[in-house]
Amino acid sequence: MATGGASTHHFNASKLFDASGYVCVITGGGTGIGLMAAQSLAANGARVYILGRRMEALEKAAKSHHDPSGGGEIIPLGPCDVTKKEDLEKVVKELEGKEKYINMLMCNAGVGGPKAPPEQEDAKDLKKNLWENESVEAWNDCYNVDVTAVYFTTVAFMPLLQAAIKPKGPLENFSPSIITTSSMSGLMRNSQGHFAYNTAKGATVQLTKLMSAEFMKAGVRVNSIAPGYFPSEMTTQKSGDDQKSELPHEQIQEKGHVPSARAGKEEEMGMAVLFLTKNEYVNGQILAVEGGVLNVVSS
């Protein structure tokens, strides 16, 4: 006797992660993790709008990684500085002229902030190092991009996200989602020499939890991906003509605290993005994709 459960063919990966018809928006989508996310979604059928301050980078990314075989598309949108409300309002209005809704917003834009390893044991030397190599302005800039802008980007796109809700029944209300890009750095006690960045990413983690609890009233899910070492402009300071960066495994092995002994694969980031985009039963979670670092470093 049939029970109404899923048949085996429903578990095929092409069905589980099919994003055909999905409309997605990714900030910081022209390089690094944002571009990996855009590729994974477009390869599975989604129209993906990538936002950023540098239109040239967005256009190069879209052109370099256009692949119609997946049925999706990567579309540049901007320029947009996520720390400016007027820029956010402008791209939202432009998008409203193109789409009736969006299924997923990934708040991925981020900066690294100042760095000053606190290696000195003498308090005077410690003060000198941290005092002279960091500034209030640099701390504020880091927090502004990595936390404040995540909040206002989410708020700006909320009506478009809620418009994606298509109830199949009374319990089907959490289809649209937001993914924030936090970091393993926001989950650990080791400063890694960048107090500002780790503090900001810790705030991103908390902001994600707050938004998840509050915005579920509007039927929108909020989760976060906390990456470890992935190839990006933040970790390598550069990208090639295809907007891609290289992070040699040897460079990761030298750190001595990465059990996987390598950088994360771009496809592994894509898997995480697709999972949080498609699984409507996941809400308020921080998904660490970091090769086991948090098993080694105090967190």
Q: Which residues of the chain fall below pLDDT 70? A: 1-4, 167-173, 235-239, 244
What is residue 144's DSSP assignment?
I
> Is 111 in a helix, a strand, or coil?
coil
Say if 4 falls within a structural domain.
Answer: no
pLDDT at 94: 97
Domain count, the chain: 1
Say if 6 falls within a structural domain.
Answer: no
pLDDT at 166: 76
Say if 38 falls within a structural domain.
Answer: yes
Say if 11 falls within a structural domain.
Answer: no
Which residues are marked as active site?
182, 197, 201
pLDDT at 126: 94
Domain around 101: 16-162+172-295
Q: At 126, list the tokens.
A: 């410690």
pLDDT at 211: 98
What is the spatial distance between Cα 70 and Cα 83, in angstroms, rounded to a whole number? 33
Say if 5 falls within a structural domain.
Answer: no
256 closest CA partner among 182, 197, 196, 192: 192
Domain at 115, CATH number: 3.40.50.720
pLDDT at 87: 98
What is the spatial distance between Cα 209 and Cα 214, in angstroms, rounded to a whole number? 9
What is the spatial distance between Cα 299 and Cα 184, in angstroms, rounded to a whole number? 9
Mean residue pLDDT across the chain: 93
Say if 7 falls within a structural domain.
Answer: no
Say if 112 falls within a structural domain.
Answer: yes
